[in-house]
Amino acid sequence: MGQYDQTEEEVSIIKYEDFNEEYILNGEGIDQIAAKVEEFLYSLEMERANVLGIRLSLEEALLRWYDHFRKKGEEPQVEFFAGKRFFRPVIEISLKGESIDPLDPDDPDTDTGDWVGTVMENIGLSPRYAYSKGVNTISIRLNPPRRNPGMGLVMGIVLGLVIGLLGKAILTDAMLEGITTYFFDPVQSVFFRLLQATAGPVIFFTVLTAICGIGSAAMMNKSGKRLIVRFLFFSTLMTVIFAVLGAIIMRAEYISSPILRTGFSVFESLLEFIPKDIVSPFLNTDSPQLIMLAIIIGNALLVLGTQGSRLVKIANQANSVGLLIANWISRIIPLFVALLLAMRILDGTFTRFIGIWIPLVLFHVFIVAALFIAMFLAAKRYGTTVGNLWAKIKPSFMIAFRNASVDSAFGQNRLCCEKRLGINGKLADFGLPLGLVIYMPASTVSLMASTLFAVKCYNLTITSLWLILAMILVVALQAASPPVSGVDTLAYAAIFSRLSIPSEALIMAIICDIIFLFISSAVNQAMLQLELIREADRLNMLDKDILRKPL
């Protein structure tokens, strides 16, 4: 039984444990292994779709072995291992006997096609087959479970404070200068260069694959098109309101200019989004030009349809590589936070960031207020109460909040949509994955909050043009960026570079971003659920009795 076959009360985090067992290679044995595979994968908090894909792929591989040995009248033993090797989760299945590669797509003994290869590719995994000393082994190395980002941040801040304060107390000026020149500056420079080098391709391929994905969703489904428009509209609206409020409350230095001149300046800036060639946007990490290039190429690929399918596949694979690199970068962020924090303490510029509590408080108040307003309007529209709505979304909200991740709450989210909010399962199956990638209004606002605070810290002057450009960049980058660790850091690098904000401000942006991640994950998810209620009602796919029924 999978996680989603359980009742609501039973859906809980399955505790991680290792498996190392032997089974007979027959129908029953294959089912037992499949059950263990599912249990192991759910304990890693893996998404249901990926769990199903891996389970089915391993079943197919085992079936191919079974078919081969059954013809010879044999029922060999199979050893199943699921656990960690060198800190990474691994599934290994071993079988003694002659060499048979069950993953071979050209195996003449099977006519089930190569759907296994496609499924694993889509999950981003590469199962391996090996034959050594008379033993066939299939192995799959999985990504480690997502770490709570708060822990890494706290460790980075503590380490940075310790190094910075100790250094300030112990080191002489000459020593400080030496360490800064020969260690801190080069390491900082390497990190910034890494961000700059990665940001361009990641932004390009993320937007490109998003366009291709959105296009196919929209073409298939009018509801998809409507949802996407609403998602982008509300993200933009919230960002605009926050940008204005934030600029006022944080007392950013603002120079106004006549509306007509601003209008022309905006028009001129938008024209600059068109690149003069396809190489310079990458060389200069010009994010607006990269976005524009991706939009143009993405739409061209949509028009080409099947003729462009190979390029779309390559783009998806390049995107997977980019996101993996972004993920690697996210793992060294705590070190980066420690380093930059120490540097700011040692050079005395840390005091710039004393006011960091302002964007933190402002953001949280704004986002919670926005959610409350959205819930109030939904409650009024559908004849229920805010309290009832909150009680229904609270379990999935709290999972996303605790883990700072919408992925971790997907199961509860899906259950909540259908069983508590009355959203038809088919709409939830379509709208949830689409919305969780595109509709991140709280994350968009968080990008804006950090950007405005960076401006304030470095006493930069903003104009209407700057504000409009900032809003466009923030909305576009956030809409196209999947909720993957490290991608936000790259987005900040791209935005700050384009808006002439010093790279040193990245430390503050990263700290704010990680703190914002908890509430923004939860609010993004809740806002999406409210949008899906509306869309379900529009399509007569909303069971209002379930929605109104108190828990």
Partner 1 sequence: MVVTKNLEDKLLNVKVEGRLDTATAPELEAELAEVLDKADELVFDLEGLEYMSSAGLRILLATQKKMGLKGGMKVTNVNDVIMEIFEITGFSDILTIE
Buried b / exposed e over 188-209, threshold 16 CB at 10 Å, is beebbebbbebbbbbbbbbbbb
**Of 122 and 126, CB closest to partner 1:** 122
| Position 2 contacts partner 1 (CB under 8 A) | yes
| Position 122 contacts partner 1 (CB under 8 A) | yes
Q: Least distance in Å: CB of 196 to partner 1?
A: 37
**Of 121 and 347, CB closest to partner 1:** 121
* Rounded Cα–Cα distance for residues 529 and 428 (Å): 9
Q: Which range binds partner 1 by CB under 8 A, 115-123, 152-160, 226-234, 266-274? A: 115-123
Angle between helices 425-438 and 506-538 (to 10 degrees): 160
Q: Least distance in Å: CB of 115 to partner 1?
A: 5
Q: Which range binds partner 1 by CB under 8 A, 114-122, 141-149, 305-313, 478-486? A: 114-122
| Position 59 contacts partner 1 (CB under 8 A) | yes
Q: Least distance in Å: CB of 22 to partner 1?
A: 17
Q: Candidates 11, 44, 49, 176: give the one binding partner 1 (CB under 8 A).
A: 49
| Position 4 contacts partner 1 (CB under 8 A) | yes
Query: Which three-class secondary structure state does DSSP give residue 107?
Result: coil
* Rounded Cα–Cα distance for residues 160 and 477 (Å): 30
The site string for partner 1 over 409-448 (x = CB under 8 A, - otherwise) reads: ----------------xx--x-------------------
Cα–Cα distances in Å, from 295 out to 19, 208, 365, 476? 47, 6, 34, 11
* Rounded Cα–Cα distance for residues 473 and 498 (Å): 9
Q: Which range binds partner 1 by CB under 8 A, 50-58, 98-106, 212-220, 287-295? A: 50-58
| Position 105 contacts partner 1 (CB under 8 A) | no
Q: Candidates 63, 90, 311, 332: give the one binding partner 1 (CB under 8 A).
A: 63
HEC sequence for 64-103? HHHHHHHHCCCCCEEEEEEEEECCEEEEEEEEECCCCCCC
CA nearest to 460, candidates 172, 319, 175, 253? 253
Contact 289, 281 (CB under 8 A): yes
Contact 61, 116 (CB under 8 A): yes
* Rounded Cα–Cα distance for residues 4 and 7 (Å): 8
| Position 98 contacts partner 1 (CB under 8 A) | no
Q: Least distance in Å: CB of 389 to partner 1?
A: 23
Q: Least distance in Å: CB of 59 to partner 1?
A: 4
**Of 5 and 545, CB closest to partner 1:** 5
DSSP β-bridge partners for residue 20: 81
Contact 396, 548 (CB under 8 A): no
Contact 423, 536 (CB under 8 A): yes
Largest distance between two CA atoms of the chain: 87
* End-to-end Cα, the chain, rounded Å: 26
Q: Which range binds partner 1 by CB under 8 A, 117-125, 218-226, 289-297, 523-531? A: 117-125
| Position 313 contacts partner 1 (CB under 8 A) | no
In terms of Cβ atoms closer than 10 Å to its own Cβ (0-12, 13-18, 19+), residue 250 is middle
* Rounded Cα–Cα distance for residues 404 and 524 (Å): 11
Q: Least distance in Å: CB of 60 to partner 1?
A: 4
Q: Candidates 17, 31, 75, 268: give the one binding partner 1 (CB under 8 A).
A: 31
Strand 88-96 and strand 19-24: the pairing is: unpaired
| Position 34 contacts partner 1 (CB under 8 A) | yes
| Position 118 contacts partner 1 (CB under 8 A) | yes
**Of 30 and 474, CB closest to partner 1:** 30
Q: Least distance in Å: CB of 66 to partner 1?
A: 8
Q: Candidates 11, 14, 44, 56: give the one binding partner 1 (CB under 8 A).
A: 56
| Position 77 contacts partner 1 (CB under 8 A) | no
CA nearest to 491, candidates 301, 338, 355, 290? 290
Q: Candidates 14, 52, 171, 197: give the one binding partner 1 (CB under 8 A).
A: 52
| Position 277 contacts partner 1 (CB under 8 A) | no
**Of 56 and 539, CB closest to partner 1:** 56
Contact 164, 350 (CB under 8 A): yes
**Of 114 and 347, CB closest to partner 1:** 114
Query: Which three-class secondary structure state does DSSP give residue 248?
Result: helix
Q: Candidates 11, 16, 60, 265: give the one binding partner 1 (CB under 8 A).
A: 60
Q: Least distance in Å: CB of 116 to partner 1?
A: 9
Judged by CB under 8 A, how many residues of this single chain contact partner 1?
Answer: 26
The site string for partner 1 over 191-220 (x = CB under 8 A, - otherwise) reads: ------------------------------
The site string for partner 1 over 11-30 (x = CB under 8 A, - otherwise) reads: ----------------xx-x
In terms of Cβ atoms closer than 10 Å to its own Cβ (0-12, 13-18, 19+), residue 95 is buried
Strand 253-255 and strand 461-463: the pairing is: parallel
List the alpha helices (DSSP H) in 172-221.
173-179, 185-220
Residues forming contacts to partner 1 in the complex (CB under 8 A) are 1-2, 4-5, 27-28, 30-31, 34, 48-49, 52-53, 56-57, 59-60, 63, 112, 115, 118-119, 122, 425-426, 429
